[in-house]
Structure 1
Amino acid sequence: MSRFFQRLTFVLAATIFAALGLGFALGEFGMFGVHAGGEQDGAYRQMHVYAEVLKRIQSDYVTDPNINTVTTGALHGLLESLDADSSYLTPTEYKIYKNRPTTGVAQIGLIVSKRYGYATIVSVIPGSPADREHLADGDVIESIGDTSTRELSLAVIRLMLEGKTGSTLSLSVVRPRKPDPDKITLTRTVVSPPALSEQQYENSSILYLKPGELTAARVDELAAKIKAAGKTRKILLDLRDVSEGDADQGIRVANFFINQGTLAVLEGQKFPRQTFSADPSKFLTSAPVAVLVNRGTYGAAELAADAVEDAKRGDVVGERTFGEGSVQKTIEMPDGSALLLTVAKYEGPDGKKIQDEAVAPTVIVSQNTDDDIDADNPQPKQGDEILNKALALLKAKNS
C-alpha cells in the first residue's frame, strides 16, 4: 500500500476511533504496529476494508477522484448510518455551526429531521411561509437549492433553512401521492411559535389545551391552566405537531398527571443512566386525561405522551409519533471538523427507546389533514376524527 493511502487510512481511522471512543496512538495502530483485542480488532479489520476500497477507487474509477470529497462523503455516511441526529461537519461547516446566531433567526417555519436518507418535514409552524405553501408533515425535501438533502447532514440542513430576514430559499418537495417534486421558493421571516390554545367542551367539563411547544415558559402556562381548571375537570391535551421543546419539560408535563413511578430513563453506552421519577409535589390533577398525537409529535411531546400511556393514566389517541429522543455530544477533530454524536437515548418506563420505536397510541385514529382543527378556534370539526374520538372517550369517563 502506498504511503498516501497509509496516511489517508490513518486519518479516516482516527476520526472513526475518536467517534467510537476507542482511542489509539500512532505507534499502536495496525499497519503501524497495532496490538489490540476485542472490538478494536474488529474495527482494525474494517480499516483494511476501507483502505482497499479507497485504493480501488483511486486506481479503477472512471476518472481520477477527489479523495478529499470521497472521504468526506464516507464520513457523512458513517455518522448518518448510526441515526439521523449524528452528523459529521467539515471544518467549514463546523465553523458556521459554532458561529450561528441563537436568537432572531429568520426561517420558513419547518421542523425537519431525516428519514430514508432525505430531509423530512416533522411539522409546520402555523402561519409561517411553509404553512402558506401548504407544506405538511411527512413531505420530503428532496433538495435545497441545487443540493440533494441526501448529501447533507441534518445539522447542515437545519442551518440552510435559516438565514436573513427577506432572503429566499428554493426547495424541491416530494409530496405523498404526487410522482413529481414541487419546486417552491419561500421567503425567510422571523417566525413566532404558536400561542397556547384552550377551549371548553361538554358544558365546560372538558378543558382542551394545545401548548404549541414545550419550553419552560410554555409549560408554566400549561400548569397554570390545569391548576385553574380544578381537580375534577377532564383534560384533553393536544400534542399534535408539538415538535419543539426541552426533554425535561416533556417529563414535567407527564408529572402533572402522574404522581408516582418512573416517567422516563436516559441511558447510553458511556452515559450515566438517569431515571426520571414522578415528584408528588408537581402532580396537578387526577381527573381523566386524553392526549392527542400525530406524526408531528416529536421529542419532548413524545416523552409526555409515552409516560401517560405507560402509566395507564389516560388514552393516547391518534397516529404513531415521529420518533425522537436523544442527546448529542460535540466532538471536535484535530483538523477543525467535528462530530455531532448521539451518546444517549430516552426510554419509556417500559424500556422502549422512543427514537427507535416512537409512541404508538392506545387508540389509533388517522388524521384528516384537509380538515384539521383551527388553532385559533379549536372547535371539533367533522373531519377531525382524532379530536372527536378523544372527546367521546373523555365524555364516557367519570371525573
Structure 2
Amino acid sequence: KPDPKLLVNGALDSIDAQLKKEGTTPAYDRPTLTGSPQSDLAKLAETMDLLAQKYPKLDPEVEKAGLDRPKFLERVATDGMAKAMKECHTYYLTPDRAKTFNRPPEEYSGIGAQISPTRPNEQLPEIAAIFPNTPAERAGLKAGDRIQTVDGNSVSGFTAEEVATRIRGPEGTTVTIIVVRAGAERSFSITRARLTPPRVISRDLEGGTIGYLRVTAFNGDVTRQTSEAVQALLASGVRGFVLDLRDNPGGDLSAAQDIGSIFTKGTLVKQTGRDGQQRELRTNDKWFWSAPKPLVVLVNERSASGSEIVAAGVRANGSGTVVGTKTAGCVGIGQPRELPDGSMLLITIAKMQDAKTGEELNGEGRGVRPDVVTGTDADQQLTDAVAALRQKS
C-alpha cells in the first residue's frame, strides 16, 4: 500500500506548483503528517479548504468548465498523488480526456507527433515519433525532442494524453511548441491539419527478401492490420521479418497480446498482481502464423508497455532476436477507475516479469535488454536489424 505521507506531500506539491503557475507564491504551514491514512488525509482536506479560501481566484478557462476553487484543487491534488507514485501506469485523467481513454480517434486535427509516456523521474514529455507527411515532419520536429511549452504554457510533468490534448485543435489553426533538443530550446509554429494516424506501416526491404512492419501503437484494429500485412508480405515471397516497435508507447493490453501471438507461441510475460500471485500472459492461437520465418524485433528507449511485452515474449519463446537499445521499463497493467465527476484515475495493479528469466521488467533502469545492442541513430538501427536477420537466414 502507498505511504499516506507520500500521497499527501504529492498532492501539496502539485497544488503549490499550480499556485505558482497562477502567479501566486503559496504561504502556509504544511501539516505535520503521521503516516496514518485517516489522519493525514483529514489534514490534507483541512489544508485544501484553507488554500481555497486564501487563494480563491480561478483561471477563466477553469470557470468555463463549471469548476469552483475547491473542486479544481481536488483535481490538482489527485493528479499530484498519482504522480507521486512514480508509476508510469498510475495517472489521473480529467473528464474530457477520460472520455477518449484508450479510444484513439480514426481522424483528428493535429500535427502528427506521437508523445511518449512520461517516465516517473522525467518532467518534460518526449516526442516518441513523427509520422510521415505531416505538419510536424515538415516543421522539423524530431523524435527525442522534449516539449517544454505549448502555446506559451508549460507542460512539465504532464502525461502524454494531456500534452496531446493541448496540441490538438481546429484544422488550419496554429500551435506554437517550444522543445529542448541537445540542451537547446527550439520554437516551432505549426499549422494543424486533419490526420489519420497510421497504426501499421509495411514494405519490403533488400530486394523483396525481408518484410518490414512498423507498428506505432496497440489500439484500434491494429491486430487485423498487422495480420493482413504479414499475409501480404508472405505472399510476396519474403524470407524474414523486421518487426519495428521503436517509439511504440503501448496501448491496449489485449491488442499487444494478439500482436505477439502473430509472431510467437507460448507465454509472453509473467504478471504479478497486488495479491502477490503470479500469472502467465499467454499468446492467442487464433492469430499465430505457422510459416517459420526468421524474425528480428527492433526496439528503442521509447518502446514501452505493450512493445516490451511483445519483444520479451518473442525472445522468451526463442522466436526471434531483439535488436536496438534498452526499452523504457514501463511494463504493467493500469486499472481505470471512474471518479464521480467523470474524471479517471488509473492505478497500477500488476507488474510484468520476463517469462524465461523471471527478471522484473518494470521500473527505472529496467526494461527489455536487446540481444544485439545498437547505437541511437535510427537509420543505423534498421541496418543493424537487417544484418542480424541475415545471420539467422
Q: TM-score, normalised by structure 1?
A: 0.70
Q: Hey, what's the Cα distance between the residues in 1 that align with 2:194 and 2:348?
A: 29
Q: Which residue type is aligned with residue 223 of structure 2?
A: A
What displacement does 1:199 show? 1.8
**Does residue 1:188 correspond to 2:159, yes or no?**
no
Query: Aligned equivalents of 2:340 and 2:367: distance in 1?
Result: 36
RMSD of Structure 2 on Structure 1 (CA):
3.8
Matched, 1:218 2:225: yes
1:390 counterpart residue number: 385
SS across alignment from 2:254: helix
Specify whether residues 111 and 355 from structure 1 end up closer, same or farther in structure 2 by C-alpha distance, changes over 3 A only: farther
> How far 1:364 moved relative to its partner?
1.0
Q: 1:263 to 1:45 in 2, by over 3 A?
A: same
Alpha-carbon deviations, 1:96-143, whole Å to 9, x = none? 642799443212112222241232222222222222222222221112
Q: Does 1:263 align with 2:268?
A: yes
* Amino acid corresponding to residue 300 of structure 1 in structure 2: G
Q: How many Å apart are 1:224 and its aligned residue?
A: 0.7
* Paired residues for 1:39-118 under 5 Å: 42-47=36-41, 50=44, 64-66=54-56, 68=70, 71-82=74-85, 83-89=87-93, 93-95=94-96, 97-98=98-99, 102-112=105-115, 113-115=117-119, 116-118=122-124
Structure 1 range deviating more: 305-314 or 93-102: 93-102
> Given the alignment of the two structures, is residue 167 of structure 1 paired with residue 168 of structure 2, yes or no?
no
The letter of the residue matching 1:44 is: Q
2:132 corresponding residue in structure 1: 126
Residues 137-160 of structure 1 show CA distances to partners (whole Å, capped at 9, x for unaligned) of 222111222322136454432322
Output the CA distance in 1 between the equivalents of 2:192 and 2:275. 40
- 8 Å contact 1:129–1:186 — kept in the other structure? yes
Which residue in the other structure is 1:197 paired with?
A: 202
Question: Shift of residue 360 of structure 1?
Answer: 1.9
Task: Mark the CA change 1:48 to 1:145 in structure 2 (over 3 Å): closer, same or farther.
Answer: same
Partners in 2 of 1:109 and 1:323 — Cα distance?
A: 25
Provide the secondary structure at the position in 2 that maps to 1:190. Answer: strand
Instruction: Label 1:188 to 1:328 Cα distance change in 2 as closer, same or farther (>3 A).
Output: farther
* 8 A Cα contact 2:130 2:143, kept in partner: yes
Range moving further from structure 2, 302-311 or 221-230: 221-230
Alpha-carbon distance in structure 1 between the residues aligned to 2:250 and 2:311? 14
The change in CA–CA distance for 1:257 and 1:197 in structure 2 (over 3 A counts) is: closer
SS in 1 for 2:204: strand
Q: Which of 134, 138, 142 is residue 136 of structure 1 equivalent to?
A: 142
Secondary structure in 2 aligned to 1:111?
strand
Distance in structure 2 (CA, Å) of the matches to 1:393 and 1:335: 52
Counterpart AA for 1:393: A
2:371 corresponds to which letter in structure 1? Answer: T
2:370 to 355, 361, 364: 361
Q: Please state whether the residue corresponding to 2:108 is helix, strand or coil.
A: coil
Three-state SS of the structure 2 residue aligned to 1:196 is: strand
Q: Could you say if the C-alpha distance between residues 190 and 86 of structure 1 is closer, same or farther in structure 2, counting changes exceeding 3 Å?
A: farther
Q: Give the alignment of 1:212-251 within 5 angstroms.
A: 212-214=216-218, 215-225=222-232, 227-228=234-235, 233-243=239-249, 246-251=252-257
Which deviations, in whole Å up to 9, do the C-alpha atoms of 1:335-377 show, x marking residues without a partner? 5544233334444414445442332211111132xxx4xxxxx
Residue 146 of structure 2 aligns with an amino acid whose one-letter code is V
Please, which moves more after superposition, 341-350 or 271-280? 271-280
Q: CA deviation at 1:279?
A: 5.1
Report sequence identity in percent: 26
Q: How far apart are 1:188 and its partner, in Å?
A: 1.9
* Partner secondary structure for residue 320 of structure 1: coil
Counterpart for residue 21 of structure 1: none
8 Å CA contact 2:123–2:158 kept in 1: the answer is no
Q: Distance in 2 between matches of 1:184 and 1:162?
A: 15
Distance 2:118 2:157 in 1: 11
Contact 1:266 1:346 in 2 (8 A): yes
Amino acid at match of 1:129: P
Q: Deviations over 1:53-90 (max 9, x none)?
A: 669x86xxxx944474655433221111222443334x
Q: Contact 1:84–1:154 at 8 Å: present in 2 too?
A: no
2:164 match: 158
In structure 2, distance between residues paired with 1:96 and 1:177: 31
Deviations 1:322-345 (A, max 9, x none): 344444444333455442333344
In structure 2, give the amino acid aligned to 1:173.
V
Preserved contact between residue 141 and residue 173 of structure 1 (Cα < 8 Å): yes
Q: Distance in 1 between matches of 2:214 and 2:92?
A: 36
Deviation at 1:184, TM superposition (A): 1.9
* Count of equivalent residues: 337
Query: Taking structure 1 as reference, are residues 97 and 394 closer, same or farther at Cα in structure 2, changes over 3 Å only?
Result: closer
Name whichever of 281-290 and 216-225 sits farther off: 281-290
TM-score by length of 2: 0.71
Whether contact under 8 Å (1:200, 1:208) holds in the other structure is yes
Look up the equivalent residue of 2:389 and give its one-letter code: L
